[in-house]
Amino acid sequence: IYFKRIHELTITDDLTKLYNARYLHMRINDEVERARRFGYDLSMIFIDLDYFKKINDNYGHLCGSKLLAEVGSLLKEKIRSVDMAFRYGGDEFIILMPETPKKNAKIVANKIRTVLKKAVFLKEEGVNCRITASFGVASYPKDSGDKTELIHMADNAMYRVKDKSRDGVAVA
């Protein structure tokens, strides 16, 4: 039981209870190899919360942390059991979607974007705030030849949304 708990702690983010970036890098190797071997698409959604710094500045870091945890719960609820959600760092998240073409991943990204935009966060704290996020979608092997390029392409797509409008989805 202790070994299982220690293993959980090494692969999950304390705050959000999602998988952590270290585990992403371990899993993505396996998933890219599986996609290559069996000839299917592996899609990634890169998510960055819009204006997250304002939450920390206006309500404090404890509220910011609580918001990240609430977003983590929301992401877990909205993905399939075969998909994996990761806290990549700060207010960035990644969803890895095995056996998923890019067009389907874009549909999921739009659904999550809509749910996130409609959700009311930090209710217990009396803040009752709403947030949006910028999403980038990329797929292996269509957009990338390896795991590093897949992350890079999804991140670049997300930044196109950040630079243009925020609260949107872009594909590589």
Residues serving a catalytic function are: 91
Q: What is the C-alpha separation between 143 and 154, in angstroms, rounded?
A: 9
The token duo for 148 is 């590093």
Measured on CA atoms in the order 73, 75, 81, 86, is the torsion positive or negative?
negative
* Alpha carbon distances (Å) from 140 to 15, 104, 117, 118, 159: 29, 13, 28, 31, 19
Nearest by Cα to 133 from 154, 156, 161, 172: 161
- CA proximity to 138, closest of 154, 123, 161: 154
Measured between alpha carbons, how far is 142 from 74 in angstroms, rounded to an integer?
A: 28
**What's the helix, strand, coil split of the chain in %, to 5?**
50, 20, 25
